Structure 1
Amino acid sequence: MSLNNAQQPSVQHAFFVTGTDTEVGKTFVSCALLAACRDIGLSTAAYKPISAGCERTTLGLRNEDALQLQLASSLVLDYDEVNPIAFEKPIAPHLACAKKVASGDGTFIELHDINLGYQHLVDKQSDVLLVEGAGGWRLPLGKNSEGYEQYLSDFAVAHKLAVILVVGMRLGCVNHALLTAQAIEQDGLIVVGWVANMLEPDMPFLEENIQSLQNLLQAPLLGRVPRASAPEDVKACFGLQALGLIT
């Protein structure tokens, strides 16, 4: 797949950040990308439409990943603009939602609401808008109020978003990356680039695994992200040219 044939981001420079699994560093990579964009003078905004695993505060439920994305955005955004749908329990969102609905203390997740939140951020006209998924590509959202099964990937497909794939470098990552990229492409979207996130710096045959992914994935490697204490520390790791952010 050539970048010359890749679709352009649907609105401004809009990207959907997904991962090969949960806990592969999507938020860390997203925040580092936002910092890199800010450094070249681009305005940025982030959207994490759904989260699970939140702390109950006086201001409402707060998710640590969403808070980091809010802080990393150059636009001043309210928390609810970044993360409109939040669940307290650290379980799959469709399960958390089902428990709340069954108890009479919640409503179904609706893609319509996620779309409204996205359009609200689009209207702010930042140069770069990063949408961070939850879990992996095919995250179930459960049935909506009309009884239809939904997936977060449906949102990305509806908006024809270019996809950035975060690969957590650990045993099994090649299989997970190839299957995820295949699913994205079968859904009609483009993986515009992938990021090698060093979850296990001592991973056996690390270089060979990265080379295998470079050979087997049709998208370019955007960067190798080493373990670091803060996203700002690794913002120079990315090749923003591949994303069309530097001419």
Structure 2
Amino acid sequence: MSRYFVTGTDTDAGKTFVSAALLASARRQGRTTLGLKPVAAGCERVGGMLRNIDALLLQAQSFPPVDYATVNPVALEPAIAPHLAAQRAGVQVCLDDLERMLQRILDARPEDTILIEGAGGWRVPLNAEEDLSGLAVRLELPVILVVGMRLGCISHARLTLEAIRAEGLRVTGWVANQIDPNMREYEANLETLHRCLDAPFLGAIPWLGDTSAESSNLSELQAKAAQAAEYLSGL
């Protein structure tokens, strides 16, 4: 059984999209899969229940099928930073509670490949005193870094890699995800990342069209994730 924490260089780096592609790749290898997004902000009410399209995409890539509450136990409506969304919702989210919830889920799930997605970048706050990345530290999870390929990504990627390792965690690898189709010197930037990031390279996903939740529906995202899987090496 392989379990990983997925983080990104920033918000909108493509963590969910890459996670879905990695899960699709694992399915092609005949593995069972589970995608988790413990905390999701930016949820919409569907039939009176809060649902997040990123979590729905991870749910769709999970096999055997799993219920939504397992994938996303903490659903917050405002599309803002998690700690601010929790404040606005009048709820307290802390690492102790998340760790207990996640540990129960992990203990009950026998899937071959399990990906646990963070929110925003590595240092996104969970509350006034804790970062969401502390969940990866507590569960001692190896980390997959998604580099959103746009101007500024080299510094963001290097700093994130340093921060992950400063927490004593192993970096399983990094993925280059092209989120800006007009990025200047894309190949040169990718070459620089290869030289600067001392971690395994899992693949580069080219621009496959807009994969943001705001401009894509679930079926489109599933199709694009399946296409992106072709550019990734297995975990």
User: What TM-score, normalized to structure 1?
Assistant: 0.86
Match of 1:236 among 199, 214, 230: 230
Q: Within 5 Å, which residues of 2 pair with 1:86-101?
A: 86-101=75-90
Query: Distance between the aligned counterparts of 1:238 and 1:80, measured in 2?
Result: 29
| Aligned amino acid, residue 165 of structure 2 | E
- Alignment of 1:142 onto 2:122: no
Equivalence for 1:202:
182
Q: Is the 8 A contact 2:95 2:130 kept in 1?
A: yes
Cα displacement string for residues 170-213 of structure 1 (whole angstroms, at most 9, x for unaligned residues) = 10000000010010010111111100101123311111111111
Q: Secondary structure at the match of 1:223?
A: strand
Q: Secondary structure at the match of 1:195?
A: strand
What is the root-mean-square deviation in Å for CA atoms of aligned residues? Answer: 1.2
Structure 2 unaligned residues grouped into runs of 5+ = 209-219
Q: Secondary structure at the match of 1:140?
A: coil
How far apart are 1:62 and its partner, in Å? 0.3
Runs of 4+ in 1 over 2 A off after TM superposition: none
Equivalence for 2:196:
216
Equivalence for 2:6:
17
How far apart are 1:96 and its partner, in Å? 1.4
| Aligned amino acid, residue 177 of structure 2 | N
Cα displacement string for residues 95-136 of structure 1 (whole angstroms, at most 9, x for unaligned residues) = 1111232xxxxx310222222332233221110110011000
Equivalence for 1:8:
none
How far apart are 1:238 and its partner, in Å? 1.1
Percent of aligned positions that are identical:
48
- Alignment of 1:176 onto 2:160: no
Query: Distance between the aligned counterparts of 1:52 and 1:138, measured in 2?
Result: 16
User: How many residues of Structure 1 are paired with residues of Structure 2 in the alignment?
Assistant: 220
Q: Secondary structure at the match of 2:66?
A: coil
Query: Distance between the aligned counterparts of 1:21 and 1:234, measured in 2?
Result: 20
| Aligned amino acid, residue 28 of structure 2 | D
| Aligned amino acid, residue 231 of structure 2 | C
Q: Is the 8 A contact 2:94 2:127 kept in 1?
A: no
Query: Distance between the aligned counterparts of 2:89 and 2:233, measured in 1?
Result: 43
Cα displacement string for residues 3-59 of structure 1 (whole angstroms, at most 9, x for unaligned residues) = xxxxxxxxx200111000001111111101000000001100011000100101225
Structure 1 unaligned residues grouped into runs of 5+ = 1-11, 102-106, 144-148
Query: Distance between the aligned counterparts of 2:103 and 2:113, measured in 1?
Result: 14
Match of 1:43 among 27, 32, 36: 32
How far apart are 1:71 and its partner, in Å? 0.5
Cα displacement string for residues 118-174 of structure 1 (whole angstroms, at most 9, x for unaligned residues) = 22332211101100110000111114xxxxx11111110011111000001110000
- Alignment of 1:111 onto 2:91: no
Query: Distance between the aligned counterparts of 2:109 and 2:148, measured in 1?
Result: 32
| Aligned amino acid, residue 93 of structure 1 | P
Q: Residues 200 and 100 from structure 1, CA distance in 2 versus in 1: closer, same or farther, beyond 3 angstroms? A: closer
